[in-house]
Amino acid sequence: MILRPRRLRRTAAIRDMVKETRLSPSMLVYPVFVREGRNIAEEIPAMPGQMRYSPDTFPRILERVAEAGVGAVLLFGVPEHKDEIGSQAWAEQGVIQQALAVGRRHFPDIIFIGDVCLCEYTSHGHCGVLKGETVDNDPTLELLARTAVSQAQAGADVVAPSDMMDGRVGAIRSALDGAGFEDTLILSYAVKYASAFYGPFREAAGSAPAFGDRRSYQMDPRNVREALREAQLDVDEGADMIMVKPGLPYLDVLRAVKERSCVPVGAYSVSGEYSMIKAAAERGWVDEERAVSEAAVCLVRAGADVLVTYHALSLAEWIREGRL
Ligand code: PBG
């Protein structure tokens, strides 16, 4: 007798019955860029198939999100006016606040997540206020907290700090509680690496740093124990969920964080991961559906409870059709 693992792979029905990794549309989060203006839905050149919407056209995409059964949207604001401190981030009529208000009113079943960071709003493109040429951590905390509260006021269910300042989860938690938003969740980008894979996003959001880079506040790709420390600190400060970012190049980190944390863990498949597959698929070098599906499955297998991806709408469709 030969022992045959292959028997379990004999037919599609058997493979489907015994598969170890299962995806559902409700675990997906779709990132959306909202820019100031009216009647705008423009394609982002570095991210074929992804658009920037003005607050009035934004419901168009929400309709598709709701139809697809995608769990949540993650909103990025692209303001018209930027300044040294990024004050449009917490403006009452800021672009993200407008988008949240519209979305909340018309789409009760979608979870709305606001990205909390200053880089899209500052004239210098860094994620906090500057002292000379470096980001000043502690004064930035107050502005992030203000931004989070204003997003909660506008209707965010979840705020997601992506700035990587030390102590921001605690600062945001106490500001939310103080303003009566005890039930607003914090999804912390606890483990965010200084990555080349954010390239297309910086074009989409107009948030490339005017000088220097983000290595003094984002993580060094060579480190994994540091990721565990960042994750632990954020959980201790009150993060309800934590995220690892980017996705595919950091599967080992995702697994390590998942094994040691008792909160749900998200993975962010970032803009560069999206655009690489798009570009290769356009040239006929990879099969888009298979590459996207495989990447998503690998992220979930490595530990993602929640998956943030620009492919969320297609993935939801393929999942519902039983294709992955
Ligand atoms: C803001 C932020 C960035 C991303 C998410 N939030 C850019 C950055 O840190 O430069 C990147 C997302 C992506 O590439 O899809 N700080």
pLDDT, tens only, 63-115: 999 999 999 999 999 999 999 999 999 999 999 999 999 999 999 999 999 99
pLDDT for the residue numbered 108 = 96
Looking at CATH, the fold of the domain delimited by 20-320 is given as TIM Barrel (3.20.20)
Q: How confident is the model over 288-313, as pLDDT tens digits? A: 999 999 999 999 999 999 999 999 99
Domain boundaries along the sequence of the chain: 20-320
Torsion, Cα 315 320 321 324, to 10 degrees, reads: 50
Quick one: average pLDDT of 212-230?
96
Confidence of residue 61 (pLDDT cuts 50, 70, 90): very high
Burial 68-78 (b: 16+ CB within 10 A, else e): bebbbbbbbbb
CA–CA separation, 25 vs 30, rounded Å?
Answer: 10
- Measured in Å, residue 195 CA sits from the centre of ligand 1 at 9
Instruction: Please work out whether the CB of residue 217 comes within 6 Å of at least one atom of ligand 1.
Output: no
Degrees to nearest 5, angle at CA 127 with 227 and 41: 110
Instruction: Locate all alpha helices (DSSP H) within the chain, ordered by sequence.
Output: 12-18, 58-68, 95-106, 137-154, 168-178, 199-205, 225-237, 251-260, 271-282, 288-302, 312-320
* Cβ(119) – ligand 1 distance below 6 Å: yes
Write down the pLDDT at residue 44. 97
Over the stretch 131-173, which tens digit does the pLDDT of each residue have?
999 999 999 999 999 999 999 999 999 999 999 999 999 999 9
The predicted pLDDT at position 21 comes to: 98
Atom of ligand 1 nearest to the CA of 271: 15
Mean pLDDT over all residues of the chain? 97
Query: Is residue 255 classed exposed, middle or buried when 0-12, 13-18 and 19+ CB atoms within 10 A define those classes?
Result: middle
Give the per-residue pLDDT at 59. Answer: 98
Among 52, 124, 207, residue to substitute to test ligand 1 (most atoms within 8 Å of Cβ):
207
Q: What is the mean pLDDT of residues 199-204?
A: 94
Longest dimension (CA), the chain: 74
**Tell me, what's the pLDDT at 162?**
95
Alpha carbons within 13 A on the beta-carbon side of 192: 24
Question: In angstroms, how far is the first alpha carbon of the chain from the final one?
Answer: 33
Burial class (CB in 10 A: 0-12, 13-18, 19+), 286: middle
202 lines ligand 1 (CB under 6 A): yes
CA distance 5 to 160: 43
- As given in the structure block, the two tokens for residue 164 are 């990587």
Contact 55, 98 (CB under 8 A): yes
Distance CA 228, CA 308 (A): 20
Matching residue, tokens 């990025």: 76
At 225 the pLDDT is: 98
